Amino acid sequence: MVRDRVRFGLIGTGRIGQVHAASIAAGPDAVLSWVADPDLAGAKSVAARFGGTPTESPEQLLASGEVDAVLVASPTPTHVTLIGACIDAGLPVLCEKPIDLDIARVDALRPKVAASSVPVALGFNQRFDPDFAETHARIKDGEIGVLEHLSIISRDPVPPPAEYIAVSGGIFRDMTIHDFDMARFFLGDIVEVSAIGAQLFDAGARAHGDFDTVTVVLRAASGSIATISNSRHSAIGYDQRLEAFGAGGMLQVANAPSSLVSASTCAGVEAKSRYVDFFLERYAEAYARELAEFIKLVRGQRSTSPTFSDGRAALIIADAACRSAEEGTVIRLTG
């Protein structure tokens, strides 16, 4: 039976790792075969819930001979090494974003990826969100004509802990990077980056020289423009909206409500329930579809999984945004 199922090795059993473990276990096309985490208790806990052999050692997982594909959900600094090891082991790998916070390390890995036929996919799950994907498809079908302006709003409910910010690489590489990938998904190559950042409310961001509020304007090679607005807090819940404007009109993706109930009272009419909490709820379906698409890649089928190149391109934009925000200049990207 397992023969028909892709045997997954999962490296990293934090919040995202657990989401992937659940997705792997839920579907008919995959099985969780090995689970690695230096924190062995974490590996054991995930293995107990979703199957697989727990280990402290990613190397043991890769060498087990019982793994057809690897899902890397470990901390960012380990990604480059693990992708390299997967390539060496000949195992297709789906790695969480970002590849690394340092473009030099990404570029060092780049020739190896290019020289290999082992598929390397990046975890830009938002491409697989049904609503964003539907919008993308409808634009491709010409429903609104040429896409002239893309607006992305992405605001997290509450700022992360200061310790997280310290190692995050900054808001552009940590949070906006999803939006950079979405901009590329909708608009193709980006040639110009202009970013502005502010420290308005979060002491943790301020302490680490990071911004809590940023706006980025991108110009695509096509000439079209994208605007991204991020905030590290949002009293109204997880704020994830997208608006695509073209000659023929506009497609909008609204926030995801937590229920269908609205209240009309003397305080206000048609007040809706709060939005869903955070990315695990908002993008639950996206994670499942991301995995399904990666499984196609593993099986050698046509797949739309974002690649190592997509991960690198988003990081290059993030680096440019950092520089733009710091220097107050517009950054032109070259090839």
**Which residues of the shown chain bind its own copies in the complex (CB under 8 A)?**
130-131, 134-135, 138, 143-144, 146, 148-149, 151, 155, 192, 194, 196, 198-201, 213, 215, 217, 219, 223-225, 227, 229, 231, 233, 235-237, 239, 245, 247-257, 259-275, 324, 328-330, 332
Let me know: does 47 contact 53? Beta carbons within 8 Å. Answer: yes
| Least distance in angstroms from the C-beta of 132 to its own copies | 9
Tokens of 88: 């060496």
| Ordered alpha helix ranges (H), 116-228 | 130-140, 162-167, 171-174, 176-187, 203-207
Tokens of 89: 């082991």
State the residue for tokens 């997290």: 156
Q: How far apart are CA 123 and CA 314, in angstroms?
A: 12
Q: Which of 309/329 has CB closer to its own copies?
A: 329
At position 223, the amino acid (one-letter code) is G
Q: Please report, in angstroms and rounded to a whole number, the separation of the first and last CA atoms in the chain.
A: 47
Q: Which of 120/225 has CB closer to its own copies?
A: 225
Sign of torsion over alpha carbons 219, 131, 6, 21? positive
Q: Which of 124/245 has CB closer to its own copies?
A: 245
| Least distance in angstroms from the C-beta of 62 to its own copies | 32
| Least distance in angstroms from the C-beta of 241 to its own copies | 9
Q: Which of 118/276 has CB closer to its own copies?
A: 276
Q: Which of 4/65 has CB closer to its own copies?
A: 4
Helix or strand run (H / E) with residue 190: strand 190-198
Q: Which of 127/219 has CB closer to its own copies?
A: 219
Is the preceding peptide bond at 98 cis, omega within 30 degrees of 0?
A: yes
State the residue for tokens 């690394």: 100
Let me know: does 218 contact 226? Beta carbons within 8 Å. Answer: yes
| Least distance in angstroms from the C-beta of 303 to its own copies | 23
| Least distance in angstroms from the C-beta of 137 to its own copies | 10
| Least distance in angstroms from the C-beta of 9 to its own copies | 25
Report the relative pairing of strands 120-122 and 6-11 from DSSP bridges: unpaired
Q: Which residues contact 140 (CB under 8 A, 6 or more apart)?
A: none
Q: Which of 100/129 has CB closer to its own copies?
A: 129
Q: Which of 149/208 has CB closer to its own copies?
A: 149
Q: Map residue 151 onto helix, strand or coil.
A: strand
| Least distance in angstroms from the C-beta of 236 to its own copies | 4
At position 57, the amino acid (one-letter code) is S
| Least distance in angstroms from the C-beta of 285 to its own copies | 11
